[in-house]
Structure 1
Amino acid sequence: MTNILLITADDLDGRTPGAFGGVPGATPRLDALAAEGMSFHRAHVAAAVCQPSRSAIMTGRWPHRNGAEGFEPIRDGVTVLTELLRDAGYLCGILGKVEHLQPVDRFGWDVARSMRELGLGRNPAAYGAATRDFLARATAEGRPWFLMANAHDPHRPFSGSRQEKEKWPEEDRQTYPAPSRTFHADEVDVPGFLPDLPGVRIEYAEYLSSARRCDDVVGAVLGALDASEVEDTLVVFLSDNGMAFPFAKANCYLRSSLTPCIVRWPGVTEPGSADTRSFVSMLDLFPTFCAAAGIPIPGDLDGHTLVPLLRGEAQPDRERVFTVFHETSAKQRYEMRCTQDARFGYIWNAWSDGAQAYRAENMEGLSWPAMLADPVSADRTDFYLRRVPEELYDLESDPDCLRDLAGDPAYGDALAEARRHLANWLKATGDPLEAAYQSVVEA
């Protein structure tokens, strides 16, 4: 029975770590982990917002099939990973984000440490100590273990931001340290899907500082594992969704669901290897963990084991990925569906009717007001608020998704192909919006 360590970041962009072509020096421990294992450069979460993303990982089912489309509990009768692992004798623990897997008692955690017990989920030393305690208990009891260590960085409020000071009193801010490196506006390059405005630049630097503290947490957890000399451990790192900026988190764009997934499994993964071709979903982790634990894989999962890919073998049906969005943290519904392949990204905005306006947590802080105040960004902000029913992007020439091609006759064949794939997926998964989509396609 292989031990399993699942480390997650909260709102870390898929391209931030240096190992994924991101910011040099932002995430040295993650870059080292990638050098020790395999990185997946086309990995996506099921839904780009916290609780639905995490619930999908822990059930292996799409949100509409597990009940947690937004910030709701999973449905009765849906199997969760920890149930199977505990039945097999595993000690199961969680650090941070405990309340983002509901109902909490269904997950049967043997050990649970809340956000406040971990310096608002931002204290690397607290994570390291909690990991050491958990591993010591597992050793004393002679049990294999599963630990889900969830950093709360780089979720808003960002390090050093005005939001941080306004949200938490000083006594709370004293429970966690500053990042091991602080970034400044004059040393960063703003991602291409955002305009390079002073407010955006300042906030992106604050985000990178928070990302560095997330990396500090990763280092503390892995340091505790290394010090324990526990062998036969599968380590997985991922982010639950993209960063909390416009056109990222809580949407279906490329940078909404793209996650920096790293897997280190001694004897299985080749150190320093990278899969840059296969599309994988974080739904695939559930059956992968079952395989590592040596327990039967349930037949009603939506994901597929990654073991062949981890061994460097080819695996069919990895040319495309699907993602969804249902509901914001404020419980506002914006139904979206997406399919992406190596060339095109297609989004169906079921909510877009020309009247309803989009609003989500990614519009808090400095960036969105800066975009609204910038006349050059007016078309882009107007589009973000209302959208259109269908969007199509050429991800080869336009990876930042700046030019919607859905209305361009030259891309009619690509649009029809994407529609076909999405329609088939909606039907195969029993998506409740299947009939509504057929009316769009047939119009």
Structure 2
Amino acid sequence: MNDRPNVVLVFMDDMGYGDMGAMGGSVVKTPRMDSVAENGIAFRHMYSAAPVCTPSRAALMTGRYAQRVGLPRVLFPHEGEGLSSWERTVPEVLKASGYRTAGYGKWHLGCRPEHNPTRHGFDDFFGLLYSNDMDPVHLYDGEKPVRTEVEQALLTKQYTDRAIEFIERGGDEPFFVYLAHTMPHIPLHVEEGFRGTSRGGTYGDTIECIDFHLGRLLDKLDELGLTDDTLVIVTSDNGPWFEGSTGGLRGRKIDTWEGGIRMPFVAQWPARIPAGSVCDEPACFVDLLPTLAGLAGGEVPDDRPVDGIDIASALTGGPMPEREALYFFHNWTMNALRQGRWKLHIDRNPQPDRRELPQLFDLEADPGEAYNVANLEPDVMARLTGLATSFAAEIAAQRTEAEGRAAGRCA
């Protein structure tokens, strides 16, 4: 057994909590995703750090809330903002520890040359620089556009092919593969052979196609004798948009209700994770950088605030480390926070109706966020409101610096 695992992070775009069988879904069939949970662990309270693409990915890559990174909203191709060279990403941290690194799929952290994944720690990149509903849709190989007429129905297969090729190249170093699928983000495109096969319609077809190709990758790890020493993570960037299931959770993409930010999340690492494990404690994408850094023997940057914590103990079936709270924003406005069983809503951007705020929900008793218990828990309200006020002030104080870095005005 190797002490440092290979890592494969499979990241869907707009797949809902209830779209995966391991999370309780029954309409869309995801047998290979479910097998990851069966052979490893399912996190039932894993959160995206944002309910939309760019800030979710910024937090995932840096271990820092997107507001600290200066990328709190969705980026568009005509804009100049993007991930600053000052930030340290998961692939950069792992590369410094001797890992080979590759990213295949959607990036969405800026599309100028200085924002390209190859400038942020990836040895190899093949994919789209932003969402598939943005114009123009160009497919990049490294820093060069290789196709301006993209057959989107083939992207899931092409991304997986490149990931398998990268793994097959082998070598003595461990590897990190970030496989960020374009689907099931709209417009939906489905590979021939999967069209019309899912009870979930075209949306379900795209997920079942991803599941099939995940199976190809898992089978390749088996074939190469790498399964025991490879940490495979499967999740999504935020909640479902126009279609898809939240598993009964309130809200959808764009919302900081649970349906917009609680993600399906399963992981396997047979050498370390007991099969059939479950974690019911809150965790977040910001935790991945410190966790993977710890597993790889790498260093978490100590010259800036890092919001994530090392959750390797929980990942491998043990207890979750204590944390203060998780915070959720829309753009620069804090909407909500979670601490333990409690979820506090203090704002409701981008929705104009702010009646009844603030609201407090007991997610253990009320996962659908249907019953405001603020009047029943004055001490909890006071504690969480204090945390929200303090953290919002911290982010506001850093805003000018963060915006400057994202726009390229700071070194």
Matched, 1:120 2:120: no
- Unaligned residue ranges in structure 1 (runs of 5+): 160-172, 185-204, 327-333, 352-357, 359-383, 436-443
Task: Provide the rounded CA distance (Å) in 2 between the counterparts of 1:3 and 1:295.
Answer: 14
Q: Is the 8 A contact 1:13 1:242 kept in 2?
A: yes
Task: Provide the rounded CA distance (Å) in 2 between the counterparts of 1:291 and 1:206.
Answer: 40
TM-superposed CA distance for 1:282, in Å, is: 1.0
Q: Which has the higher contact order (CA 8 A, sep 6+)?
A: 2
Matched, 1:135 2:167: yes
Aligned pair partner of 2:276 in 272, 279, 291: 272
Q: Which residue of 2 aligns with 1:236?
A: 233
SS of 1:269's equivalent in the other structure is: coil
Matched, 1:183 2:199: yes
Q: Is the 8 A contact 2:105 2:159 kept in 1?
A: no
Q: Which residue of 2 aligns with 1:286?
A: 289
Structure 1 residues 322-333: aligned runs within 5 Å = 322-326=327-331
TM-superposed CA distance for 1:19, in Å, is: 1.2
Q: Is the 8 A contact 2:28 2:207 kept in 1?
A: no
- Unaligned residue ranges in structure 2 (runs of 5+): 76-80, 129-138, 140-146, 243-249, 400-411
Change over 3 Å in CA distance of 1:153–1:350 after alignment to 2: closer
Task: Provide the rounded CA distance (Å) in 2 between the counterparts of 1:179 and 1:288.
Answer: 38
Q: Which residue of 2 aligns with 1:363?
A: none
Q: Is the 8 A contact 2:83 2:109 kept in 1?
A: no
Task: Provide the rounded CA distance (Å) in 2 between the counterparts of 1:121 and 1:222.
Answer: 21
* Deviates most, 410-419 or 70-79: 410-419
Change over 3 Å in CA distance of 1:82–1:182 after alignment to 2: same
Deviations 1:105-139 (CA, angstroms, capped at 9, x unpaired): 431422211144795275443333212211122x1
Q: Is the 8 A contact 2:93 2:300 kept in 1?
A: no
- Paired AA for residue 241 in structure 2: A
Point out the structure with max Rg over C-alpha.
1
- Paired AA for residue 219 in structure 2: G
Matched, 1:43 2:46: yes
Structure 1 residues 200-349: aligned runs within 5 Å = 205-230=201-226, 232-245=229-242, 247-276=251-280, 278-299=281-302, 300=304, 301-317=306-322, 320-326=325-331, 335-349=333-347
Structure 1 residues 386-425: aligned runs within 5 Å = 386-388=353-355, 390-403=358-371, 405=372, 409-410=375-376, 412-425=378-391
- Paired AA for residue 152 in structure 2: L
TM-superposed CA distance for 1:399, in Å, is: 2.6
Task: Provide the rounded CA distance (Å) in 2 between the counterparts of 1:431 and 1:259.
Answer: 24
Q: Is the 8 A contact 1:322 1:339 kept in 2?
A: yes
Q: Which residue of 1 aligns with 2:133?
A: none
TM-superposed CA distance for 1:284, in Å, is: 0.7
Matched, 1:431 2:398: no
Change over 3 Å in CA distance of 1:298–1:397 after alignment to 2: same
Task: Provide the rounded CA distance (Å) in 1 between the counterparts of 2:185 and 2:335.
Answer: 24
* Deviates most, 44-53 or 63-72: 63-72
Deviations 1:358-384 (CA, angstroms, capped at 9, x unpaired): 4xxxxxxxxxxxxxxxxxxxxxxxxx5
TM-superposed CA distance for 1:385, in Å, is: 5.3
SS of 2:87's equivalent in the other structure is: coil
Q: Which residue of 2 aligns with 1:66?
A: 69
TM-superposed CA distance for 1:238, in Å, is: 1.4
Q: Is the 8 A contact 2:64 2:286 kept in 1?
A: yes
TM-superposed CA distance for 1:180, in Å, is: 8.0
Q: Is the 8 A contact 1:121 1:152 kept in 2?
A: no
Task: Provide the rounded CA distance (Å) in 2 between the counterparts of 1:344 and 1:239.
Answer: 23
TM-superposed CA distance for 1:73, in Å, is: 1.3
TM-superposed CA distance for 1:411, in Å, is: 5.4
Q: Is the 8 A contact 1:55 1:68 kept in 2?
A: yes
Task: Provide the rounded CA distance (Å) in 1 between the counterparts of 2:109 and 2:177.
Answer: 15
Task: Provide the rounded CA distance (Å) in 1 between the counterparts of 2:17 and 2:192.
Answer: 25
Change over 3 Å in CA distance of 1:409–1:84 after alignment to 2: closer
* Deviates most, 220-229 or 90-99: 220-229
SS of 1:250's equivalent in the other structure is: coil
TM-superposed CA distance for 1:44, in Å, is: 0.4
TM-superposed CA distance for 1:25, in Å, is: 5.2
Deviations 1:320-340 (CA, angstroms, capped at 9, x unpaired): 5322221xxxxxxx7343112
SS of 2:19's equivalent in the other structure is: coil
SS of 2:233's equivalent in the other structure is: strand
RMSD, matched Cα: 3.0
Q: Is the 8 A contact 2:63 2:287 kept in 1?
A: yes
Structure 1 residues 71-110: aligned runs within 5 Å = 71=75, 72-100=81-109, 103-104=115-116, 105-110=118-123
Deviations 1:285-333 (CA, angstroms, capped at 9, x unpaired): 101111221122333421111111123332342585322221xxxxxxx
Q: Is the 8 A contact 2:348 2:354 kept in 1?
A: no
Q: Is the 8 A contact 1:249 1:255 kept in 2?
A: yes
Q: Which residue of 2 aligns with 1:364?
A: none
Deviations 1:212-262 (CA, angstroms, capped at 9, x unpaired): 233233223323333333352111111111111492111211111101111
Q: Which residue of 2 aligns with 1:365?
A: none
TM-superposed CA distance for 1:55, in Å, is: 1.3
TM normalised by structure 2 equals 0.77
* Deviates most, 26-35 or 312-321: 312-321
TM normalised by structure 1 equals 0.71
What is the number of residues matched between the two proteins? 356
